[in-house]
Amino acid sequence: MAEPLRIALAGLGTVGAGLVRLAETNGGLIERRAGRPLRIVAVSARDRAKDRGVDLSPYDWEDDMTALAARADIDVVVELVGGADGPALTTARNALKAGKALVTANKAMIAHHGLELAELAENRGVALKFEAAVAGGVPVIKGLREGAAANRIERLYGILNGTCNYILSTMEATGRDFGDVLAEAQALGYAEADPTFDVEGVDAAHKLAILAAIAFGARIDFGAVDIAGIARVRAADIARAAALGYRIRLPGIADCAAGAGNDAGLFQRVQPCLVPRDHPLAAVEGPTNAVVAEGNFSGRLLFQGAGAGDGPTASAVAADLIDIARGDIGAPFSVPVAQLEPRAPADAGHRISRAYLRFTVTDRPGVLAEIATAMRDADVSIESLIQQGRPEEDGEVLVAMVTHEGPEAHVGKALRLLEGSPSLTEPPLVMQLLS
Ligand SMILES: NC(=O)c1ccc[n+]([C@@H]2O[C@H](COP(=O)([O-])OP(=O)(O)OC[C@H]3O[C@@H](n4cnc5c(N)ncnc54)[C@H](OP(=O)(O)O)[C@@H]3O)[C@@H](O)[C@H]2O)c1
């Protein structure tokens, strides 16, 4: 019989326990497809006594997960702890330095330390795989590295955070505001107790940076992602977008040469956008993830499915393990780290787009004229003033408008002209219209 692939599992939470369950349930078919058994040998987490709903008695327990890599009876370490640094990173470094393969679902760690880890893996000739780090069970990294490998990817965009998509689609369906829906999402387990990384767009930005590096052959540059979250989106914005034929979504967008006068800098942005109702991303509801990659020969590819959860995420981790069992090492970012290009961040000011602008203003005469003057002076042409809402109890009025196509820099200038105006009760909300 072929030698088993011997696995050490660091982290036995949602995904770790899911992987144990998957290995128990589908072990036979995995063995046939991998050509050899996948055998969990040792496990580690914080609390040995915790009931995780799976039988851990067949496996050795290690109190110190960072020591897993030193075991001679291990071929691969699976890191399912989380966090960009700390024990996850130490475990990952130890594994690769010891010449063990590493599989992880940790997008924060890969977004921040992916190049260092990939270099370690390449130097040691071992695999580093992280399919589960992006879009849970959806095989988008495999899709880009393998299925679309013959293409130049021209643009990539997707809904990469299920929590935000659940909140936005529920706000639309119910007319309720952000805070209310977030609280419900937390109660239902769709949002973390601390939802900051999700709702502020950081989690989606981690995933976008990883995908952009693979799609465009660029050195991963999380710091260059322009990030805005969804906390400032109001039910009123969603209603106005709907009246125009749009849905509000939080896409991550990356491309290499969009907009007049742009160089080949890498554009990466996570920001709420108005998506036309007939666009593939508009149909993505609830906690689902979807990624679109536009290849120069393949055309538009759509990857869609569950972006989180024990089953889908464990499925992606197991797929990486099967690849390793088959002997597929491959460069973690599709090309060796030394060949990834250091792309400068693109200048977003040159991008041509239409924008939705929402101002929250005091209810007094002259406010609209002040906004219109700033738009004129910045060369922003207003296509439609959607609605001037009735004053709320506190005398606040929402003024929303859509601009004609124009450089984003012009909108930026208009907003700078309005900065500090006593008429505005909070900073304007800007959302691009996705074309
Ligand atoms: N959950 C998802 O749907 C999902 C989807 C995609 C990617 N991911 C990624 O998968 C990874 C794991 O996520 P998860 O949801 O499974 O997390 P989780 O449920 O919080 O589990 C984390 C595990 O790591 C252990 N752990 C945490 N801190 C530790 C420390 N300082 N020392 C030792 N062990 C420690 C915990 O031990 P105890 O159990 O003993 O406390 C637990 O077993 C993360 O990188 C996450 O971003 C998760």
Q: For every residue of 134-191, which 3-state class applies, written as one string?
A: CCCCCCHHHHHHHHCCCCCEEEEEEECCHHHHHHHHHHHHHCCCHHHHHHHHHHHCCC
Residue 103 near ligand 1, beta carbon < 6 Å? no
Nearest CA to ligand 1 atom 4: 308
Number of the ligand 1 atom closest to the C-alpha atom of 106: 45
Asked whether residue 262 carries a pLDDT value surpassing 50, the answer given is: no
Concerning whether 50 is annotated as a catalytic residue, the answer is no
HSE (side-chain half, CA atoms, 13 Å) at 16? 24
Q: Phi and psi at residue 246, in whole multiples of 5°?
A: -125, 155
Average pLDDT over residues 320-332: 97
Say which of 100, 129, 207, 413 is annotated catalytic.
Answer: 207
Q: Over 60: is that where the pLDDT of 82 sits?
A: yes
- Cα separation, 220 vs 239, whole angstroms: 37
Minimum CA distance residue for ligand 1 atom 15: 14
Is the C-beta atom of 217 inside 6 A of ligand 1? no
Q: Is 313 in the pocket of ligand 1 (CB under 6 A)?
A: yes
Locate the ligand 1 atom nearest the alpha carbon of residue 81 and give its number.
24
What does each C-alpha distance from 49 to 12, 81, 240, 260 come to in angstroms?
12, 17, 52, 60
Q: Whose CA is nearest to atom 10 of ligand 1?
A: 105
From residue 79, how far is each of 116, 148, 258, 384 by CA, in Å? 16, 27, 37, 51
**The pLDDT of residue 97:** 98
CA 23 – CA 34 distance, rounded (Å): 13
Report which ligand 1 atom has the smallest distance to the Cα of 15.
16
Residue range 112-163, pLDDT digits in tens: 999 999 999 999 999 999 999 999 999 999 999 999 999 999 999 999 999 9
Each residue of 51-74: pLDDT tens digit?
A: 999 999 999 999 999 999 999 999
Whether 11 is in the pocket of ligand 1, judged by its Cβ within 6 Å, is yes
Percent above pLDDT 90 for the chain: 91
Does the pTM exceed 0.75? yes
C-beta 312 within 6 A of ligand 1: no
Residue 143 near ligand 1, beta carbon < 6 Å: no
Q: Which of 46, 59, 66 to mutate to test the pocket of ligand 1 (most atoms within 8 A of CB)?
A: 46
Rg, Å, the chain Cα set: 24
Parallel/antiparallel/unpaired status of strands 406-407 and 352-353: antiparallel
For ligand 1, the distance from its centroid to the CA atom of residue 83, given in whole angstroms, is 8
Protein residue with its CA nearest to atom 5 in ligand 1: 308
What is the pLDDT of the chain when averaged over all its residues?
A: 94
Nearest CA to ligand 1 atom 30: 46
Ligand 1 atom closest to Cα of residue 309: 3
Residue 263, pLDDT > 90, answer no
* pLDDT > 70: percent of the chain: 96
Alpha-carbon distance 86 to 176, whole Å?
38
